[in-house]
Chains A and B, each alone.
Chain A
Amino acid sequence: MAPAPDSSKPFDIVATYNELLRSDPDLTMPIAAIEALVLLLTHSPSSTISETLDLLNKSTEHLKNSIPNPIGLSAGTDLFQRYLITTLQRPGQLGPAGDFNAIRAHLLSNGRLFIRRAKESRDKIAAFGRGFVRDGSTVLTNGGSRVVASLLQKAADEKGGPSAVRFRVIYVLSSSKNVESSPGAEPEGMETVRALREKGVPVATIPESAVAYALGKADMVIVGAEGVVENGGIVSRMGTYQIGLLAKAMSKPFYAVAESHKFVRLYPLGQYDLPIEQRVIDFKTEEEIADEAKQQPQETTTETTPKSVARNSCQSVDFTPPHLISALITDSGVLTPSAVSEELIKIWF
C-alpha cells in the first residue's frame, strides 16, 4: 500500500499521507498520519532512539505545515509520538536499555496494530450509538462523516431483526459553490443518503439554510467531528456550530460522534482561536475583485479557482463549544463533554 518511492529518493511524508487518504476512502486523517509515520519509520534506517524521535518530530512538523488544516492530523501524530515515548520509557527489554532493532520492530508492529484497532473503532462506536436512534425517531445530520454513516447504517441494519428500528433521516447537504462550479461532483454525504435509502430508511435532504425550519421535525442531531478538543468541544465542518446553536435553542439533543483518536490537545477559546488560518470571511470591494480578476488570467486559471473555492467552503471548519453538545459518542463509551479532558489527560500523563 505504500507508494514506496525507491530508496534513492527521500521518503516524502506529505505525498504518502495524501496518497493514503486518497487510496482508502475509509481512512480518517489522524490514522492516515499515523500510518504515514509508521511507513516513514520502516523506510528510514534510523538506529538510535533520539534519531528516530528527531526524524519523527521533523516529519510531523513538515506534514503539519504542508496541510491546510492540520487539526485532525495533529491528533494522530501527537498520539503516535506520545505512544512512542511511553513505549521507549518503559523499563525492560523494550526500554532505553534494550536492543534498538527489537524496539523498532516492536514499534512498527504495534503501530500497525494501532491502526487496525482505530479502524475497528468505527464499529464499536456504531454499537454504542445505535441505542440513541430510537424507534420512530427522526435524526438530523450533516456532512460526510463516515462514523455517522456507519452508525446510521448499523441502526438501519437492525431492521427486520428482533430490535427493528424504524427511523427517518434529515440530511443537511451543503449547498456550497463547489457543486455549481463543478457540476459533476455531488455534495458530500450523497453517498450515505443513497446507502440509507437502499436500506429502506426514508431520507430527506435539505440545504443548510433550512436547518432551523427542519429542526422542529427532528428528534435529535447527530454530527461527526474532525477533532475533539480538550474542553469537550468539537472542531467540525463548517455549519456544525450553527446546527448546534439551533439545536440548543430548540432543546434537541445534539450528539457528536468521533473516534477517540480524534481527541486533540488543543483548547480553542472561540471560533477565531483555531490554529489554522481560514479565509471564510473575506471582505472585498469591487475594486479588489477587479484587481484579482486581472491577476488571475495570468496564472493557470483552471488550477487555482476550484481549489481555492474548495478550500473556502468545503474544507473550512468551525468550533462547536462544549455547552452545545449533549454527549460525545466515542469508542471508549458515551462521554459528556467534560469527560473528554479526563480521557485526554489519561492519554497524556
Chain B
Amino acid sequence: MTNPVDPALASSLSAPASEVPAQQRQSEAPSNPSQPQPSKESGKPKKEKKEAKPKDTKDATPATDGPEKLTGAELKKRAKAEKAARRAKEKSDREAGGAPAPAGGPAGGGSGAGAGGAGQPATPKKGQPAGGSGAGGDKGRGLPRRPSGQASGQPSAAEQKKKAEEKNVAVFGHLYGQQRRATVAGAGKEVHPAVLALGLQMRDYVICGSSARCVATLLAFKRVIEAYATPLGTSLSRHLTTHLSHQITYLSTCRPLSISQGNAIRALKLAIASIDPSVPEADAKGTLCEFIDSFIREKITVADQVVAGSAAQKIQDGDVIVTFAGSSLVKQTLLSAHKQGKKFRVSIIDSRPLFEGKNLARSLAKAGLDVQYSLMNGISHAIKDATKVFLGAHAMTSNGRLYSRVGTALVAMSAKERAGGVEVPVIVCCETVKFTDRVALDSIVVNEIADADEMVTTQPPQQVTGLPDPAAAAAAAAAESSSDNKKKASKTPVPPTNASSLEPNPALKHAPSPLKDWRDTPNLQLLNLMYDVTPAEYVDMVVTEMGSLPPSAVPIVHRMSTSL
C-alpha cells in the first residue's frame, strides 16, 4: 500500500514548486473515484482499502509526470481552470460526498465495531503517507483525499450556506449547525492521522452504530496517546486532555458525537486527570492504554456478551421477533439464541436511507435463521404475527426514553398499540455506557440532521447484494457482477490517464432522481433526521449488562455505573 504513495511523497519533496498544483490535480482526481461510491454497499475497511488503491496510484502518476511535462506557470493556469470547473461541478461533487451514506451505512454490526477498529490502524497509513512521523498533520492537509479541496470549497461554502438556509426545515433549524466536514483539510495539525481517518469513516457511515463508533474512537485515542509526547513545561495529566480535545473537536465536526462516545471520552479524561504528575510519562501512557482496553472490554465487549446472553433467554421457541434497522447487539442476541437451538423467526424492518437492516438480514440468514425483511411501509403487516420486539439503542435518556435510529418509535408504537400492548413486549438491548443523564421529551430538541442529499440518491439495484468496487464500476459503466468487479479493481488503477475522462457517476446516471435538483427547486425542503425518541411507556424492558431493568430504572443505573 505504501508503494504507490511513495513516489508522490518523493516528488513533492524533490519539486516543491509543483507541489501545490499537483495537489490541486490530485484533489480533482480522487473526486472521480469517490463519486461512484454510492454504487457500492457497506464498505468498511475492506472497501476502504479497495478505494484507496486506485486513488493512490492516480495520485502518484500525475505527481511523477507533473514536473517533467509542465512548468509551474502552466500548472497554475491549469489549476485555475480546474478550480472554475470545480465550482460548476460542485453540486454533483457534494452529492458524491453525501452519497456514500446510504451505501456505507449498514456498518452497525458488532463485527463493524471490531472490523472498524481493526481497519483503523491500516487506513491512516494509506490515507496519510507519513502517518507515523511527527509531520503527519501537515501531510494530511497537503493531500486531501475527498472531493472539493479546500481552495475551491471555501467560496462555494458561503453561497451554499445562503441557499441552505432556506432549505432548512424551520422546526429543526437549531439542529443544522455546521455542515459535516467534507475533507480532512483544515484540520488542526495536532489531529492524529488515525483520528483524521476515523472522522471520515464516521462521516461516511463506514463506522456506524453507537458502540462501533465508541470503540473506534477509543482505539484511535489509544494511538493518539501512544504517539503523544508531553511538551516541555507541562505535565501529561494537564496537557493530554487539551491535546485530546483537539481530536474530539475534529471528530465532532465530522459527525456529532454519540452519547456512548461522550461517556467514553468523559471516563478517559477523568482517568487522565487522575494521573499523578510525578508518574513517568511512559508509565502514565501505559496506564491510559490499559484503561482504554479495559474500558472497551468491560463496557462493550463483555457487556455485549452479557446482554446478548440474558436477552436471548427471553426468546422462546416459536417466537416471531421483530427488529428494526441493524443493531449489533440485537444481532448478537439473535445469533446466540439461535446457537442455543431455539426455533424462532426474525422479521427485520428497515428504512431509507441507511438500510442498516440489510446487513443484519444477510448475516442472520447466513447463520441459518429464518429471516423476513421488509421496509417500514410494511410495518403493520410485519407486526401482525410478532411476539416480541427487540430494539437497539443509541442512548437511553434519564426519563427512561429510548433515543435510537429514526423509525424505532414507530416500530415500538406499532407493537404496543396493536393489541392493547400486553401481548407484544418491546425489549431494548443497551449497554450502560449508552445511558445519559440528559432528558429527552421529544425528538426535536435533541437530534442529528444528516445530509439531505442522502435521501436524493436512488440506489442502483445491485446494491442489495453485491459490493461492487467504485473504481471498477466507474471504469466499466456497464453493469457487472460483483465478483468480477473485485478482480477488476486491482487492474483498473493501471491506466491513470482515464482519471480525468471518467464518466460522472454511472449509478446516478441511470437512475436520475426526481429530487436531484432539490436545492434549486423552490418551496422544496428535505429533512433527513437520524434519531427519534421512543416514550418509556412503549418500552417494557431494558436489558443491560447490569441486569434487566424497567426504563424507569435507567437513571439509577446510570448514577451507579458512573459513580463506580
Question: Per-residue CB proximity of A199-220 to B under 8 Å, as 1/0?
Answer: 0000000000000000000000
Whether the pair A338, B425 counts as a contact (CB closer than 8 A) is no
B547 and A230 form a contact (CB under 8 A): yes
Collect the chain B residues with CB atoms within 8 Å of residue A230's CB: 547-550
Q: How far is the CA of A269 from the CA of B539 in the complex (A)?
A: 11
Q: Is the CB of B552 within 8 A of A338?
A: yes
Q: Is the CB of A270 within 8 A of B425?
A: yes
A168 within 8 A of B: no
- Chain A residues 113-129 with CB under 8 Å of chain B are none
Check if B541 is an interface residue, CB within 8 A of chain A: yes
Q: Is A231 a contact partner of B560 (Cβ separation < 8 A)?
A: no
Closest to B561 in A: A349
Residue in A273, A321, A342 whose CB lies within 8 Å of B553: A342
Q: Mark A310-349, 1 if CB is under 8 A from B, else 0.
A: 0000000000011000000000000001100110010011
Cross-chain contact B557 with A231 (CB below 8 angstroms): no
- What is the size, in residues, of chain B's interface with A at 8 Å between Cβ atoms? 18
**Assembled-state Cα–Cα distance A348/B547 (Å):** 10
Distance of A311 Cα from B540 Cα, bound (Å): 30
- Asked whether A345 and B546 contact (CB < 8 A) given A231-B541, A269-B540, A270-B422, the answer is yes
In the complex with contacts A232-B550, A338-B550, A270-B556 CB distance below 8 A: no
Chain A contacts of B388 at CB under 8 A? 269
A349-B546 CB under 8 A given contacts A269-B540, A270-B422, A270-B423:
yes
Contact A342 B314 (CB under 8 A): no
Asked if A261 is an interface residue, CB under 8 A from chain B, the answer is no
Among residues of A, the one whose C-beta sits closest to the C-beta of B400 is A338
CA–CA, A328 and B423, complex, Å: 25
B547→A345 contact, CB < 8 A = yes
Whether A341 contacts B546 in the complex (CB less than 8 A), given A267-B541, A269-B425, A269-B540, comes out as no
Q: Shortest beta-carbon distance, A244 to chain B, in Å?
A: 12
Pick from A232, A267, A270: contact of B548, CB under 8 Å: A267
Q: Do residues A341 and B550 form an inter-chain contact, with CB atoms below 8 A? A: yes
List, in ascending order, chain A residues with CB within 8 A of B552's CB.
338, 341
Tell me, yes or no, whether A237 is within 8 Å of chain B by CB. no
Residues B553 and A338 in contact, CB atoms below 8 Å apart: yes
Q: Which residue of A has the minimal Cβ distance to B540?
A: A269
Contact with B along A255-290 (1 / 0, CB 8 A): 000000000010101100100000000000000000
Is B547's CB under 8 angstroms from A265's CB? yes
Instruction: Write out the residue numbers on chain B whose beta carbons fall within 8 Å of the beta carbon of A269.
Output: 314, 388, 425, 427, 540-541
Determine the distance from Cα of A267 to Cα of B314 in the docked complex, in whole angstroms. 10
How far apart sit A152 and B170, CA to CA, in the bound complex (Å)? Answer: 60
Chain B nearest Cβ from A130, distance in angstroms: 27
Contact with A along B527-552 (1 / 0, CB 8 A): 00000000000001100001111101
A-B contact count (CB 8 A): 45
C-alpha gap A342/B552 in the complex (Å): 9
Interchain CA distance A231-B423 in the complex, whole Å: 16
A206 to B553, CA, bound (A): 38
With A230-B548, A338-B550: A345-B557 Cβ-Cβ less than 8 Å: yes
Closest to B425 in A: A269
Interface contact A322-B550, CB-CB below 8 Å? yes
Complex: A232 Cα to B557 Cα, angstroms: 16
- Point out the residues of chain A lying under 8 angstroms from B553, CB to CB: 338, 341-342, 345
Provide the residues of chain A in CB contact with B541, threshold 8 Å. 231, 267, 269
Which residues of chain A come closer than 8 Å to B540, judged between CB atoms? Answer: 231, 269
In the bound complex, how far is the Cα of B388 from the Cα of A231, in angstroms?
Answer: 17
Q: How far does the alpha carbon of A341 sit from the alpha carbon of B388 in the complex, in Å? A: 22
Shortest CB-to-CB span from A79 to chain B, Å, is 15
- Within the assembled complex, what's the spacing in Å between the Cα atoms of A265 and B310? 13
Contacts of A270 in B (CB 8 A): 422-423, 425
A124→B555 CA distance, assembly (Å): 29
Instruction: Please report the C-alpha to C-alpha distance between residue A298 and residue B546 in the assembled complex, in whole angstroms.
Output: 52
Cα A232 to Cα B549 with chains together (Å): 10
Judge whether B422 and A349 touch: CB under 8 Å: no
Known: A230-B550, A269-B314. A341 touches B556 (CB 8 A): yes
Restricting to B406-433, which residues have a CB under 8 Å from any CB of A?
Answer: 422-423, 425, 427
Question: Is the Cβ of A341 less than 8 Å from the Cβ of B314?
Answer: no
How far, in whole Å, are A269 and B548 apart by their CA atoms in the complex? 11
In the docked arrangement, what's the CA distance between A349 and B547, Å?
Answer: 11
What is the bound-complex CA distance between A338 and B551, given in angstroms?
A: 9
Cα A118 to Cα B543 with chains together (Å): 31
Bound: A342/B549 CA distance, A:
9
Once bound together, how far apart are the Cα atoms of A322 and B540, in whole Å?
A: 10
Q: Which residue of B lies closest to A336 (CB)?
A: B552
Query: Chain A's nearest CB lies how many Å from the CB of B437?
Result: 16
How far does the alpha carbon of A345 sit from the alpha carbon of B559 in the complex, in Å?
12
Bound form: Cα–Cα A231–B550 in Å: 5
Q: Which of A40-85 contact B (CB under 8 A)?
A: none
Nearest CB in chain A: distance from B43 CB, A: 38
CA distance A321 to B425 in the complex (A): 12
- Give the docked Cα–Cα distance between A196 and B286 (Å): 71
Name the B residues within 8 Å of A337 (CB-CB): 550
Bound: A348/B545 CA distance, A: 13
In the docked arrangement, what's the CA distance between A338 and B546, Å?
A: 16
Q: Which of A321, A322, A338, A348 has the most chain B CB within a 10 Å cutoff? A: A338
Q: Would A349 and B425 count as touching, CB distance under 8 A?
A: no
Greatest chain B CB density within 10 A among A230, A269, A322, A345 is at A269
- Give the residues in chain A near B557, CB-CB below 8 Å: 345
CB-contacts of A218-265 with B (<8 A)? 230-232, 265
Q: Which residue of A lies closest to B310 (CB)?
A: A267
Residues of A within 8 A of B556 (CB): 341-342, 345
B425 cross-chain contacts in A, Cβ below 8 A: 269-270
- Additional 10 contacts, C-beta under 8 A, given A269-B388, A345-B560: A265-B547, A269-B425, A270-B422, A273-B314, A337-B550, A341-B549, A345-B546, A345-B547, A345-B549, A349-B560
**Can you list 12 contacts pairing A with B, beta carbon distance less than 8 Å?**
A231-B540, A231-B541, A267-B548, A269-B388, A269-B427, A269-B541, A341-B549, A341-B552, A342-B553, A345-B549, A345-B557, A348-B547
A residues adjacent to B (C-beta < 8 A): 230-232, 265, 267, 269-270, 273, 321-322, 337-338, 341-342, 345, 348-349
